[in-house]
Amino acid sequence: MKLLTLCLFLFASLLHAADRPNILWITSEDNSPYLGCYGDKLAVTPHLDKLASQGLRYRHAYANAPVCSAARTTLITGMYASSLGVHNHRSAVAIPAAFKLYPEHLRAAGYYCTNNSKTDYNVAGAGKKLWDEGSNKAHYKNRAKGQPFFAIFNFTTSHESQVAPKPGKTTFRIAPVAMPLPPYHPDTPEIRRDWANYYDQMTLMDAQVGQVLAELDKAGLADDTIVFYYGDHGGALPRGKRNIHDSGTRVPLIVRIPQKWQHLAPAKPGEWVEDLVSFVDFPATVFSLCQVPVPAHYQGRPFLGEKKAPPRDHVFLYRGRMDERYDTVRAVRDADFRYVRNYSPHRPWGQHYSYPFQVQPSMRSWYAEFAAGRCNEIQSAYWKPKPGEELYQPGEDPFELTNLAQQTMHQDRLARMRQTLREEMLRTRDTVFIPEGMYRQLAGDKTIYDYAQSDAYPLERLMDVADAATARDAAHIPAFIGALGDPNPLIRYWAATGCLILQDKAAPAKDALVKLLQDDSKDVRVVAAEALGYLGQKGDALATIQEVIQKGELYESLAALNALDFMWKAGHVTLAEAKATVKNLNMKEPNDRIPKYLLSEP
């Protein structure tokens, strides 16, 4: 009897497996929709064009964050990285133990899960152990007979590290001299070569996709497998990756659904889908297709399958620290407009990130042109402080050059989208206002997610203070002075940030800022010190910065190093003084704590 029961169970399992699709995810790194099937006339991408003819093209697909780790962390958790506090690039943050990552749910449901091979998650402890196989040899072919699979193949061919032509390369499919440039890039040989080489790399990536698809066909699995192809965030060249505009967040998404599951498709093969989708929706969509319950804490909406949700009317976007540089930004994008709130308007879009400056001649060339005064207004804007708010209409302005936020005719839309963003941040309990260096202090023995979900996190009040801080309006100074003495360090931090953004106009707050140089929170001290640089308190400010660099935790020290760099660039300290501040510090790993780009002359 027991044997009969076991046989019936195994038969039922195999029958159920036959009713469930395999899922193949093919990802390429650092590319916007630079594909022929998306209308790019410079692209040669025959394999992806063919896949698009057999599947669906999503016109409005977005990475929620414009950099690898934050985007992938959104995918792996099924939640906005900003809700979990895992939105800062290359961090390792604990999340609640009960929050299982999507491969764990799929494996529990009987799927064989492989990842070939990038992880790059900001969740502490996450990695290859999530997968049945996780390596550059991981493959679905090693599953048990009849077992459905979920498999990822990730290609780095279009990554920013591959943008620069290899030494000795002199020929390109498109001659650099004939390469059209976006208007925000100056016309230099380096930028032209990088763009020409990037399109060559996209063609190479397309061939790799073709190989994976051919292997699926050869194995006789194409009719049983739903294929997703997407870019992991926007394009690799400067002002693409790391930027929250379409150039950094809009991605190609192609989904091919076999005939037996065509009833789950919202359109016919070869057609466009106009629904707005973003990475937070991908795990829930896979669960919907695979008949796996969507966990209650997942924040995405299925856009395919039996549990397909009504389409979104906007997507939510975010960025925090990228590489060694801090820049806090939130945005919402609907089908026609993008609204951006810059919570660090005193920082430029284009900061000195060490990695792209190292690997991309185009980045170095653009900055050199700016420093030499050879950039026009559009090209210079990337290297200058930002407005507090941005509003664009990408359909009419694809490079997002014309900020509509101050135009009278768009004030109603601006107000609506501003409110939409506020509601998203409140609904998701966004950790946006918590400096990275305060995580341990505020979370205690729990996670920063737990803290952000609690009443201890005064989110609405913080949003009001931060909105005032980014308004660059001296009328807010009395409120800032009051907030500088608030018991909550986050309120003090954002009030001090408001003073920093106002620069010398914050003079009435000088005495209150001086008191903050002894604040219990080192992050608050750092912001107060940088603000005091504009108010003639160089000596005390410099001493505070030096102390935090030396005695702070990693992210506190990194914030202080960034402040010191900007104090030098603002002329508040000399280069010699700044270098002397870090020269003889007693740190165990000075090369990690003082990135090469800091305090380097242009």
Distance of alpha carbon 554 from alpha carbon 478, whole angstroms:
33
What φ, ψ does residue 258 adopt, rounded to 5°? -60, 165
What φ, ψ does residue 149 adopt, rounded to 5°? -130, 155
Ramachandran area for residue 146 (φ above 0: left; ψ -120 to 50: alpha; else beta): left
Single-letter code of the amino acid located at 173: R
Distance of alpha carbon 139 from alpha carbon 118, whole angstroms:
13
Other Cβ atoms closer than 10 A to 225: 22
What φ, ψ does residue 394 adopt, rounded to 5°? -60, -30
3-state DSSP of 217-285: HHCCCHHHEEEEEEECCCCCCCCCCCCCCHHHHEECEEEECCHHHHHHCCCCCCCEEEEEEEHHHHHHH
How do 329-333 and 338-342 pair as beta strands?
antiparallel
Single-letter code of the amino acid located at 219: A
What φ, ψ does residue 157 adopt, rounded to 5°? -60, -30
Report the length, in residues, of the chain: 602
Single-letter code of the amino acid located at 201: Q
**Alpha carbon distances (Å) from 588 to 369, 382, 578, 594:** 37, 35, 20, 11
Other Cβ atoms closer than 10 A to 422: 18
For residues 256 and 73, is the Cβ–Cβ distance under 8 A?
Answer: no
Helix 522-533 and helix 489-502, axial crossing angle in degrees, nearest 10: 20
Active centre residues (catalytic): 68
Considering Cα of 192, then 205, then 360, then 380, what sign does the dihedral take? Answer: positive
b/e per residue 110-124 (b: at least 16 CB within 10 A): bbbbbbbbbbbbbbe
Q: How far apart are the first and last CA of the chain?
A: 80
- Residue 112 C-alpha from the chain's centroid: 28
The residues that bridge with 348 in the sheet, in sequence order, are 385
State the burial class of residue 390 (Cβ atoms within 10 Å of its Cβ: 0-12, 13-18, 19+).
Answer: buried
The contacts of residue 195 (CB under 8 Å, 6+ apart) are 176, 179, 181, 237, 362
Q: The tokens of 140 are what?
A: 């679905």
Distance of alpha carbon 385 from alpha carbon 584, whole angstroms:
32
For residues 30 and 160, is the Cβ–Cβ distance under 8 A?
Answer: yes
Q: The tokens of 578 are what?
A: 């700044």
DSSP 3-state of 45: coil
DSSP 3-state of 151: strand
